[in-house]
A and B are shown apart, each in its own frame.
Chain A
Amino acid sequence: MAEQFVAKASEFQNGDRQIIRVGEDEIGIFKHEGKYYAYSNFCLHQGGPACEGLTIAGVKEKLRDDKTSVGLYFDENSMHFVCPWHGYEYDMFSGEQVADRRLKLKKYNVVQKGDEVYVVA
């Protein structure tokens, strides 16, 4: 495992993504609210480009005490990314598939050294 250069931190804005190939692996690196997350770009479902789809906050339902629904809303404390092939949705913070938390994308460590961002792969 070695540190592989990804991009200049100053050019990597919040909400940006970069897909790189290191040897035989494809890795998607996300920047969300100042933090970096990196996962394998191979979807656990059928090997689609998991990190290249929509990014969207998790949807939750607001309930009153008597369990009456007040409606659905986007949870600001969560962020998901969706594989564009068949809609497998992953938690950006853990790489877990949100419908079945036992399934998890391979996670890579991201290191920032000065203005340079590296992924350990």
Chain B
Amino acid sequence: MSSPKTQTSKSATARPALKKPAAAKSARKAEAAVEPTRAEKAAFLKAMVQGIKPGSKAAEKSAARKGPEAAKSAKAAKAPKAETPAAAPKVEVLRRISGAASIPVTPESERALALAKELEATLADGKLDALQPHAMQALMAALCKIYSAQDEADMRYPVLSGRGAVTGTDVMIVCGALLRAVDLQVFELGMWQSWSGR
């Protein structure tokens, strides 16, 4: 146990110690007012490493400290900034894809295409008698002959342009009619196909 005298002396010495944190706080506040922020510190370090960019605010400030002539040249450096064009993105050609080779159109082909279009239209309109039998026979005979001649001459291509051009039933009807017209049986067609490899 300590004497009351010593206690008073302790409290006397303790009072200024109580005031200290407040003083320290105000001192810290004052320091903080002067202390640059984290962003300012980062900008300062950046400027230290990279140097001051010409035309920037920092360049103007430092030039103003150096003198009026330096300030003028700093302003002049800032002026052409707007004129410098942005770097254009790099264009690289990845690939060139050519379209289908154009086929020379003969006048006969053009007329045949027009006729085919006309016949399709009559069919769509339901005018089944538009093409009379003798015209159909002449057309069918000419088509058979020319397709066969082209095939013999190694000008081979699919007889129809696509799967949707005609139905399977259409083909069977026409093939059956053609075979009947020349008095051939399906068996004979099969034999010829196996012999000729076609």
Show the binding face of A for B, using Cβ within 8 Å.
2, 4-5, 7, 13-23, 26, 31, 52, 55, 59, 62, 64, 70-74, 121
Taking residues whose C-beta sits less than 8 angstroms from the other chain, chain B's interface range is: 20 to 34
* Chain A residue with Cβ nearest B162: A74
Q: Is the CB–CB distance between B91 and A16 below 8 Å?
A: no
Q: How far is the CB of B171 from chain A (nearest CB, A)?
A: 13
A13 touches B91 (CB 8 A): no
Contacts of B165 in A (CB 8 A): 71
Are B89 and A59 in contact, with the CB atoms below 8 A?
no
Binds A, one of B23-31, B38-46, B48-56, B92-100: B92-100
Residues of A within 8 A of B167 (CB): 71
- Cβ proximity bits B153-176 to A, threshold 8 Å, 1 near / 0 not: 000000000101111000000000
- Closest partner residue, chain B, to A121 (CB atom): B89
A5: min CB distance to chain B, Å? 7
Question: What 6 pairs across the A-B complex have the smallest Cβ distances?
Answer: A15-B99, A23-B89, A72-B164, A17-B97, A19-B94, A21-B92
**Which of B92, B98, B126, B162 has a CB less than 8 Å from the CB of A16?**
B98
The answer to whether B96 and A17 have CB atoms under 8 Å apart is yes
Give the distance in Å from the alpha carbon of A73 to the alpha carbon of B123 in the complex: 14
A14 to B101 CA separation, bound complex (whole angstroms): 10
B90 beta carbon closer than 8 Å to chain A: yes
Contact of A18 with B95 at beta-carbon distance under 8 Å, contacts A64-B124, A71-B164, A72-B164 already known:
yes
Closest to B100 in A: A15
* A16 and B89 contacting across the interface, CB-CB below 8 Å: no
Taking the complex as formed, is B88 at the interface, i.e. its CB lies under 8 A from any CB of chain A?
yes
CA A5 to CA B126, docked complex, whole Å: 53
Interface of A is mostly: strand
Q: Kindly identify, within residues 44 to 95 of chain B, every residue whose CB is under 8 Å from any CB belonging to chain A.
A: 88-95
Q: In the complex, which residue of chain B has the Cβ closest to the Cβ of A72?
A: B164
By DSSP majority rule, is chain B's interface helix, strand, loop, or mixed? loop
User: Given known contacts A21-B91, A26-B94, what 16 new A-B pairs fall within 8 Å (CB)?
Assistant: A4-B88, A4-B89, A7-B96, A16-B97, A16-B99, A17-B99, A18-B93, A20-B93, A21-B90, A52-B95, A52-B97, A62-B124, A70-B123, A72-B164, A74-B164, A121-B89
Number of A-B residue pairs at CB separation under 8 A = 62
CB distance from B120 to the nearest CB of A (A): 8
10 of the cross-chain contacts (CB-CB < 8 Å) are: A2-B89, A7-B96, A16-B96, A19-B95, A21-B90, A21-B91, A21-B94, A22-B91, A55-B99, A72-B164
Q: Which residues of B contact A62 (CB under 8 A)?
A: 124
Question: Bound complex: CA of A64 vs CA of B96, how far in Å?
Answer: 43
A19→B93 CA distance, assembly (Å):
6
Determine whether the beta carbon of B92 is less than 8 Å from that of A20. Answer: yes
Q: Is the CB of A5 within 8 A of B98?
A: no
Establish whether residues B164 and A73, one from each chain, have CB atoms under 8 Å apart when the complex forms: yes
Q: Which residue of B lies closest to A14 (CB)?
A: B99
Of all chain B residues, which has the CB nearest A41?
A: B94
List the A side residues contacting B124 at CB < 8 Å: 62, 64, 70
